[in-house]
Chain A
Amino acid sequence: MSGLARHLLVLLARLLVGARGEWLGCAPEPGRRIYFANHSSHFDTLAVIAAMPLPLRRTLRPVAARDYWGRTRLGRFFAEGCLRAVLLDRTPRFHEDPLAPVATVLERGESILIFPEGTRGDGEAVAGFKPGLFHIARRFPEVDLVPVHLDNLARVMPKGSLLVVPLTCTARFGASFRLDPGEPKQTFLARARAALLALAPAAVEPER
Chain B
Amino acid sequence: MSPALLCVVAGVAAVLVLASVVGFVLERQARDEPALATIRNLNARTRSWWVMTLVLAGAVALGDAAIVVLFALLSFVALREFWTLTPSRRGDHRALFLSFFVVLPLHYWMVGAQWYGVFAILIPVYGFLILPAVSTLAGDTRDFLGRSARVQWGLMLCVYTISHAPALLMLDTGTDPVLLLLYLVIVAQFSDVLQYVFGKLLGRTRLAPGISPSKTVGGLVGGGLSAIALGTLLAPLTPFEWWQAAGMSTVIVVAGFFGGFVLSAVKRDLGAKDWGYLIHGHGGILDRLDSISFAAPLFFHLTRYWFTG
Interface positions of A (Cβ within 8 A of B) = 18, 20, 122, 152, 155, 158, 161, 163-168, 208
Cβ B271 vs Cβ A208 within 8 A = yes
Partner of A161, one of B76, B84, B93, B272: B93
Contacts of A208 in B (CB 8 A): 271-272
Partner of A167, one of B84, B90, B94, B272: B84
Interface string of B66-96 (1 = CB under 8 A from A): 0000000000100011011000101001101
Contacts of B271 in A (CB 8 A): 208
Query: Known: A208-B271, A208-B272. Contact between A166 and B93, CB under 8 A?
Result: no
CB distance from B80 to the nearest CB of A (A): 5
CB distance from B296 to the nearest CB of A (A): 23
Interface string of B96-119 (1 = CB under 8 A from A): 110010000000000000000000
Contacts of B307 in A (CB 8 A): none
Cβ < 8 Å to A, chain B residues 10-64: none
Cβ < 8 Å to A, chain B residues 259-274: 271-272
Interface string of B274-286 (1 = CB under 8 A from A): 0011000000000
Partner of A165, one of B81, B83, B272, B277: B83
Further pairs besides A164-B97, A165-B93, A166-B100: 5, Cβ < 8 Å: A20-B277, A163-B94, A165-B97, A167-B80, A167-B84
CB distance from B141 to the nearest CB of A (A): 18
Expressed in whole angstroms, the Cα–Cα distance for A112 and B166 within the complex equals 47
Cβ A163 vs Cβ B277 within 8 A = no
Contacts of A18 in B (CB 8 A): 80
Contacts of A122 in B (CB 8 A): 90
A sample of 16 cross-chain residue pairs with beta-carbon separation below 8 angstroms, ordered by A number, consists of A18-B80, A20-B277, A122-B90, A158-B90, A158-B93, A161-B93, A163-B93, A164-B97, A165-B93, A165-B100, A166-B80, A167-B80, A167-B83, A167-B84, A208-B271, A208-B272
Expressed in whole angstroms, the Cα–Cα distance for A163 and B81 within the complex equals 18
Partner of A163, one of B80, B83, B97: B97
CB distance from B14 to the nearest CB of A (A): 35
Cβ B81 vs Cβ A168 within 8 A = yes
Interface size range on B against A: 10 to 19
Contacts of A164 in B (CB 8 A): 97
Contacts of A152 in B (CB 8 A): 84
Expressed in whole angstroms, the Cα–Cα distance for A141 and B96 within the complex equals 45
- In the complex, which residue of chain B has the Cβ closest to the Cβ of A160? B90
Contacts of A20 in B (CB 8 A): 277
CB distance from B51 to the nearest CB of A (A): 18
Of all A-B residue pairs in the complex, the 3 with the closest CB atoms, nearest first, are A163-B97, A168-B84, A165-B96
| Residue from B83, B93, B97 having most chain A Cβ neighbours under 10 A | B93
Contacts of B276 in A (CB 8 A): 168
- In the complex, which residue of chain B has the Cβ closest to the Cβ of A20? B277
CB distance from A5 to the nearest CB of B (A): 22
Contacts of A158 in B (CB 8 A): 90, 93
Contacts of B272 in A (CB 8 A): 208
CB distance from A172 to the nearest CB of B (A): 14
Expressed in whole angstroms, the Cα–Cα distance for A155 and B81 within the complex equals 13
Contacts of B96 in A (CB 8 A): 165
- In the complex, which residue of chain B has the Cβ closest to the Cβ of A157? B93
- In the complex, which residue of chain A has the Cβ closest to the Cβ of B99? A165
Contacts of B97 in A (CB 8 A): 163-165
CB distance from B21 to the nearest CB of A (A): 33
Contacts of B88 in A (CB 8 A): 155
